[in-house]
Amino acid sequence: MSQKKTLLTLTRYAMVLAIGTVLVRLLTLGVYPLMDTTEARYGEMARIMYETGNWITPMFDYNVPFWGKPPLFTWLSAAGFEWLGVSEFAARMPHWVVGIMILVLTWILAAKVRGRDEAWLATGILATTTAFIVIAGAVMTDTALTLGVTLSMVGFWLSWEKQSRFWGYLFFVGLAIGMLAKGPLTMVLVGISLTLWLAQDQRWKRIPTCLPWVKGTLLFLAISLPWYVLAEWQSPGFLNYFIIGEHIKRFVVSGWQGDLYGSAHDEVRGTIWLFWFLAALPWAPVLFYQVARFFKAGEEGVQTTQTGYMGYLWCWLLSPMLLFTMAGNILPSYVMPGLPALGLLIAGYHTRQPLPEKVFKIGLITPVLLVLVAGLLNLNLVGKEPEKELMAAWSTQAEKENSALVYINKRPFSAQFYSAGKAQQMTTDLSTFLQEQRQDAFLVLEKSAVPSGFLWDKQRCELRAESAKRQLVHCKVGS
């Protein structure tokens, strides 16, 4: 009786933890500005899509097509603007909803395979995994990609184990979602996971019958192919850049110089494993401890059932790291598609060899950190200062309508978003710009970029506002 009471207590705790953390994340969505560079860049692309009505090709800037990613992330935020108006909350809320869908799929898989108690524990762990809950409320591509991978992995298992044609078709829907979220990477991640698992115990023999291959493939093409055809037709060159550049050169060429929209990252090979550990906090040490206990007890640490369920989860968890181990151009968010398997694994190991309840109290760290970090971001106390406040000062200026808004040398993406696309970028030096100025203008420049000994012409230029790093100066055309 006491064991059942303990299990019920832990289940209720996991329910509260999952739901509470998700609600805390919802409440933080509009508290802080869109952050440079990723959030502000993607938020501005969504704002341009909403403003122009061009829902086919995401635009990096007006009349500059963005070939780096498919449009699902842009559609999500642009839809938020349609429903709620342009704001940080509207930009992030659809991605938060996608995160909820991932949690629901995680719950469904565990509930159908292992029962509701384990399902709630797995969901609570995933919801409080730091990278998951942060990224699920951010304007990024990774949440939609994770939804596609999760739907495909859940769909495959339930089609395999339960002989469910419905879930078999959802496997292909997941691939299509991933194709519209981040492209062929989805099929690579799912393919690595399934290849590793099917290669064991002669499971590959069931491949011809485990999924509705013909109708499923047609469903996949019907969902994903039309956009790719329209995108290439509307913006020729997209497929070559996206398929060859973003999916081959980006990951095998260190410091790849072909990126049209930013700078390539160049991390030490194998860094993806460190990224995973940090992303999986506070739960990564718990999983390591569980596995160590199984090996210490002389039991196999992966295969805990004849169905191979736990091994399937391990293949899912490890696929992003295996793919990106030898890649230098990576980001911490690349591990996110495997995080649902983390929650499922820890819950599965706990069912077989329970941990003390107090171990799961570490999940409370995450919602507390969410509130703390959101507050620090709101107060600009983390070293990253978006342009929201400076653009708010600009928007109150009487000369705003008749003066250009010009950033000298560097224009942050958040300046574009918070100026509603009005901010321009000039690469000439300050002195040259003032000599050649033909229109009244608000100039924004970094304080450290003002030339040594430079003196403003007080008859022409007046300081109107400043932030920690930049100044907003209004300059009239010289006589």
Contacts of 205 (CB under 8 A, 6+ apart): none
Flag whether pLDDT at 154 surpasses 70.
yes
CB 119 within 8 A of CB 110: yes
Any idea which of 4-13, 35-44, 199-208, 385-394 has the lowest mean pLDDT?
A: 4-13
Structure tokens at 131: 């990278």
How confident is the prediction for the chain on average, in pLDDT? Answer: 90
DSSP string of 404-429? EEEEES---HHHHHHTTT-EEEE-S-
User: At 40, is the pLDDT very low, low, confident or very high (cuts 50, 70, 90)?
Assistant: very high
* 453 DSSP assignment: T
Predicted local distance difference test score (pLDDT) of residue 2: 45
Arithmetic mean of pLDDT, 321-347: 92
Task: Give the DSSP H or E segment for 464.
Answer: strand 461-466
Predicted local distance difference test score (pLDDT) of residue 149: 98
Give me the phi and psi of 470, to 5 degrees please: -130, 160
How far is the C-alpha of 34 from the C-alpha of 45, rounded, in Å? 12
Angle between helices 365-378 and 2-28 (to 10 degrees): 10
Residue pLDDT, tens place only, 364-388: 999 999 999 999 988 877 767 789 9
**b/e sequence 411-427, b meaning 16+ C-beta within 10 Å:** bbbbbbbbbebbbeebe
Residue pLDDT, tens place only, 411-435: 899 999 999 999 999 888 888 888 8
Arithmetic mean of pLDDT, 253-258: 56
